[in-house]
Amino acid sequence: MSGGNTVFTVANAGNYYISYTINITASLLVSSRITINGAPLAGTINSPALATTSFSATIITTLAAGSAISLQLFGLLAVATLSTTTPGAVLTIIRLS
């Protein structure tokens, strides 16, 4: 994990279950995604057609040792504030094999 708790690096290669949920305080027309080594991970991009306060995705993917995983909001036209009444952001990473 990076010092700012924004990048998670997997130590071992393998198949990983990755899921995320983001909750923000106001409805915004914004998108979310997981990136691996800075590149968007297909299947995790959530681009709603209408403004929303909640985003989530789940995927099983193969990662190389040393892969850096980040959770992002993008396409922001305003400031997004993470919720404090529900978990603001949850990222789950489980090595399956």
Residue 23 belongs to a domain with what CATH number? 2.60.120.40
Cα separation of the two ends of the chain? 21
Average of per-residue pLDDT across 4-27: 92
* Residue 78 confidence (pLDDT): 74
* Residue 25 confidence (pLDDT): 94
> For the chain, what is the radius of gyration of the CA atoms?
14
Q: Is the residue at 65 inside a domain?
A: yes
Instruction: Answer for the pair 41, 95: CB distance below 8 angstroms, yes or no.
Output: no
- Counted residue by residue, the chain has a size of 97
Instruction: Answer for the pair 95, 12: CB distance below 8 angstroms, yes or no.
Output: yes
Q: Is the residue at 72 inside a domain?
A: yes
Q: Model's pTM, two decimal places?
A: 0.87
Nearest one of 96, 69, 82, 62 to 1, comparing CA atoms: 69
How many domains are there within the chain? 1
Q: Is the residue at 1 inside a domain?
A: no
Domain that holds residue 60: 8-95
